[in-house]
Structure formats: C-alpha cells, structure tokens
Amino acid sequence: MSESAPTPIIVTALFGKADSAWFDGLRRAHFPPEHNRLDAHLTMFHHLAPSLEAELKHRLAGETRGARPPQAWMAGLMSLGGGVALRIESPGLADIRARLAEAFAPMLMPQDRAGWRPHVTIQNKVSPEKARALLRMLEADFRPRPVAIAGLASWWYRGGPWAPLSRHMFA
C-alpha cells in the first residue's frame, strides 16, 4: 500500500505511561512476536474514512481540551477464542465514543456500528488451548484496578504498524 494512498483511520484511547508499560509487558510476554506489531491499545473505532480526518481531529480536540480524563478500570478478563484480553470499563470514555459514533453514524462500518466492548488484547493468534491456559493463569490472581486514560489518538492504518495522525491529551 502506498504511503500517500488514502487509508482508513483508527481511533484509540491512550493510557498513562505506567499502564501502557504494564500492558505492553503483558503483550511481549504472551503475544506471538511475529504478530505483535503494535503497542497495547484500546480501539474506539476500527475504520473511519480518510475524508473524516479534519472533522475527526476537531471533535477529538473538543472532547479532550480542558477536560479531565475519564475514570477507567480494568474490570475483567475476556476470552477471544484464540487469545485473551483485559476488559476495560469507563462510562466517561463510553460517552465520548457514543458522541463520536452519533456524529459519524452514516459513515460507520458494521464493526464500528456494533456494540463496543472496550478491551486491551494481550494475546491473539494462538491455539484455543494456549489461550485457555493463559486465561486460567490470569484468573488465579486477577484483581480489578484503575487504569489511567491520558488522551485520544487517531492513526492511519497502513497494513502493518499504524502511522500516527493526531494525539489529543486530557487536561
């Protein structure tokens, strides 16, 4: 795919430094290295049209400028069949996503129109047996804990690692 070709935009929530480092450590430990091309992330939208770039940046800036970060917590574990994720709960972040989804409703792809299940994938593309083993191991000492949401970001999807488009930090 050409660097100049229009590509879809992905929107994520950004974690605080300590939480990012912790999630990334889990991904390094449990994600097959040949498939682990990204840092830990919380996807809010998987595929927005490139034509939405200017409006998206404006709306993300409006959601974060002068705003306190939404409270969030790691609330549980999720089986992905061939992987494991950490379920994230954040009513404030869900509200932001709902406003953005409403604004872009006619242009959303089916995956982004469906219900949102906020999570951080820490393992994927493994056998169901290996995923179940990790899930059991993590369940043994899982405790809900707060997670810092530092901002929102948009990215160009270019097949492999994502290319940064914009970052919008909470106050």
* Residue 35 tokens, joined: 């498939």
Q: How confident is the model at residue 161 (pLDDT cuts 50, 70, 90)?
A: confident
What's the total number of domains in the chain?
1
Residue 42 pairs in a beta bridge with 13
Tell me if 100 is assigned to some domain: yes
Residue 53: count of CB within 10 angstroms of its CB: 16
Tell me if 81 is assigned to some domain: yes
Average pLDDT over residues 150-162: 91
Tell me if 4 is assigned to some domain: no
Helix (H) or strand (E) holding 154: strand 149-156
Tell me if 3 is assigned to some domain: no
Interval 18-34: pLDDT, tens: 999 999 999 999 999 88
DSSP 60-94: HHHHHTTPPPPP-EEEEEEE-SSSEEEEEE-HHHH
Give the CATH number, domain containing residue 84: 3.90.1140.10
User: What pLDDT shows up at residue 4?
Assistant: 54
User: What pLDDT shows up at residue 139?
Assistant: 96
Are residues 152 and 45 in contact, defined by beta-carbon separation less than 8 angstroms? no
Interval 96-122: pLDDT, tens: 999 999 999 999 999 999 989 999 999
Tell me if 2 is assigned to some domain: no
Tell me if 123 is assigned to some domain: yes
* Residue 105 tokens, joined: 């409703």
Tell me if 83 is assigned to some domain: yes
Are residues 87 and 76 in contact, defined by beta-carbon separation less than 8 angstroms? yes
Task: Show the domain range for 15.
Answer: 9-169
* pLDDT above 90 (res 159): no
Alpha helices in the chain (DSSP H): 17-30, 53-64, 91-103, 110-113, 128-140
Tell me if 52 is assigned to some domain: yes
First-to-last C-alpha distance (Å) of the chain: 36
Average pLDDT over residues 5-20: 93
